[in-house]
Amino acid sequence: MMEEGRKKVREGGEGSAPSSKRTTPHTSHASTPTTTSSSFGSTTATTVSGAQSKKQQKKENKHQPQGDKKQGNKKQGDGNKQQQQQKQKQQQQQKKQKKGKNDQSSWKGPKRPEAMRRVDLFAHLKQSDHSVSLTGELKFSQKSIPEESIKLGLQMAEGNVSESTERCISMLQLLKEIVRRFFTVPEGKIAGHTLISFINPSVDFLHQCRPLAFSMRQALKKFKGSISEDMPPDCTTEGAAKFVSDFVDTFIENRIKRSQISIAKHANKKIKDNDVLLVFGASTLILNVLKYVHEVEKTNFRVIVIDSRPSFSGRRQLKQLAEMGISCKYSLISGLSYAIREATKVLLSASCMLSNGNVVGRVGTAMICMMACHHFIPVIVGCEAYKFSEIAIADSFSENELGDPQELVCEDSPLKDWMTIEDIKLLNLGRDVTPAKYVDAVATDFGLVPPTSSYAILRKAEESG
C-alpha cells in the first residue's frame, strides 16, 4: 500500500501541480530562442535560395548556346550606343541654342531649305532649294537687311553678277554704301563690335542667295581684321563711315586694280607675236591682261575661247574681245581636244591659290590643264595676292559650290521631268581643284612664280599690308 501511494505521488508530481510550475519558466525561456532561431533561419533560407538560384542561372547559361549570349550582349551594346547618341544630340542642340542666344549679330531672316535630291558623294555640301523664294516672307522695311543688300543678293542668285572678282567688288561697295547710309554708333558701345554686327545680316543674306566665293571670304577677313585692329574704340558714326570708305577704296584700288595691271605686265613676258592663247569662260583678270597686251604692248595674237554650260559666260568674254579688235574662236568644252591643238599657250584665272600649290577655279579648269599637259602646252594661271589662302585642299569633294540642278535641264530636254524619277540625281558643281603639277607658272602681283611658292606670296602680301 505504501509503495502504491508513492507511485501515485510520483505520477501526480510529474503530471499536475509541479508540472505547471515548471512549464511556465520553461515556456518563457524556450519562446525567445525559438523566435530568434526562426528569424535567423529565414535569412539563411533566403541566402541559400539566392545562391541556389545563381548556381542554377550559371548552369543554364552554360547550357545556353553562345549565339544567344552574343545576341544579348549586342542588344545591350546597341541600347547603350543609342542612349549615348541621344545624349550627344541633346548636347549639340543645347550648344546651338546657346550660340543662337549669345550671337546677337546672327540673321534671323528667311532661309532657303536644303534640296532633298542630292548626290550622295556631295551630301555634306549645302545645296539650297532654289524653287523657294528668299524674299517671299521678307519685308523690305526690315531694318536688319537694307534694300541694297537684297538687290545685290538677287542679282548674284540670278547670275547677273557671277564672276568672283566682280562679286567681291560689288560686295565691298555694298558694305561701304550701307554703312554710310544706315549705320549709327550707339552711346556707350564700341564702334568696331557694333559695326561688325551691323554688316553680318547683309553678308548672311548674300551667302543665302549664293555661297561666297574665296575672294569674297578673303576680302571679308581683311575687312573685319582691319575694323577690330585699326578702328579706334571711341569712333563716332561719321568716323566709322569714313574708315570703311577709305578701306574699301584702298582695297579695290591696290589689291584688285593695280594687281591686275602688274599681273598683265608679268604675263606679257610670256606672250609673243603670233601666239594662240586659249582662255576659259569669262574673267575680269584675263580680259585686262589681254587688253594690256593688245593695246599697250601692241602684240599680235589670237584667242580661243572655251565655254561650258550652264552659264555660257564665255560668250560675254568673246563679245568683249571682239570689240577690242582681237581675232577669236569659240568652242564648247566638249570640243576641247580638237581646239587645243591650235593653241600655243593656255591662260587661265584662279578663284583661289591654295597653300599646297593647287588651283581652285571654275569647274572645267582641271580638264583644260590636264589636256594642255598632254599636248605639252604651257599653262599660265593669273591670281591676285589677296586670293592666296593658307588652307590646303587636295580634291573637289571636301569643299565646293553646288548650283541649282534645274539649270542643267533645257526646255526640250528628256530630263525635264527628272524630279518625278527617284533614281535620277543631277549634279551641278561650281568649282574644281587643279593639282600643282599641271600648272607651269602663276602670274601674281610680285612676278611669275611656280605654284609651289604660295607661302612666299602670302608672306609678301602680309608684309605689304
DSSP 429: B
In contact, 418 and 427? CB cutoff 8 Å: no
Identify the pLDDT of residue 363: 92
Query: What cell was used for 458?
Result: 602670302
pTM value surpassing 0.85: no
Percent helix, strand and coil across the chain, each to the nearest 5: 60, 10, 30
Sequence-ordered list of residues with C-beta below 8 angstroms from that of 295, at least 6 positions apart, any chain: 324
φ, ψ for residue 129, nearest 5 deg: -85, 105
Identify the pLDDT of residue 26: 43
Give the distance from CA 340 to its chain's centroid: 36
What is the distance between the terminal CA atoms of the chain, rounded to a whole angstrom? 144
Q: Is the predicted pLDDT of residue 377 greater than 50, yes or no?
A: yes
Number of Cβ atoms within 10 Å of the Cβ of 125? 18
Average pLDDT over residues 416-433: 84
Identify the pLDDT of residue 347: 96
Query: What stretch of H or E contains 32?
Result: helix 17-63
Question: Which amino acid does the sequence have at 311?
Answer: S
Q: Which one has a higher pLDDT value, 18 or 188?
A: 188
Q: Is the predicted pLDDT of residue 194 greater than 80, yes or no?
A: yes
Sequence-ordered list of residues with C-beta below 8 angstroms from that of 133, at least 6 positions apart, any chain: none
Identify the pLDDT of residue 270: 92
Average pLDDT over residues 417-435: 86
For residue 332, CA distances in Å to 188, 281, 315, 398 come to 59, 10, 10, 28
Q: Which of 338, 334, 291, 330 is nearest to 313 (CA)?
A: 330
Identify the pLDDT of residue 19: 42
Q: Is the predicted pLDDT of residue 41 greater than 60, yes or no?
A: no
Query: What cell was used for 439?
Result: 600648272
Share of the chain above pLDDT 70, in %: 71
Average pLDDT over residues 198-207: 88
Q: Is the predicted pLDDT of residue 43 greater than 70, yes or no?
A: no
Task: Of 9-18, 29-38, 42-51, 113-122, give the range with the top mean pLDDT.
Answer: 113-122
Sequence-ordered list of residues with C-beta below 8 angstroms from that of 320, at least 6 positions apart, any chain: 287
Q: Is the predicted pLDDT of residue 101 greater than 50, yes or no?
A: no
123-163 tens-digit pLDDT: 787 776 666 666 665 554 445 688 888 889 888 888 888 88
Q: Which one has a higher pLDDT value, 352 or 112?
A: 352
Pairing type for strands 327-332 and 301-307 reads: parallel
Average pLDDT of the chain, as a whole number? 78
209-263 tens-digit pLDDT: 888 888 999 999 999 988 888 888 788 888 888 999 999 999 999 999 999 999 9
Indicate the angle between helix axes 214-230 and 191-209, nearest 10 degrees: 170
Sequence-ordered list of residues with C-beta below 8 angstroms from that of 138, at least 6 positions apart, any chain: 109, 110, 145, 150
φ, ψ for residue 332, nearest 5 deg: -80, 165
Q: Residue by residue, what is the 3-state secondary structure of 193-207? A: HHHHHHHHHHHHHHH
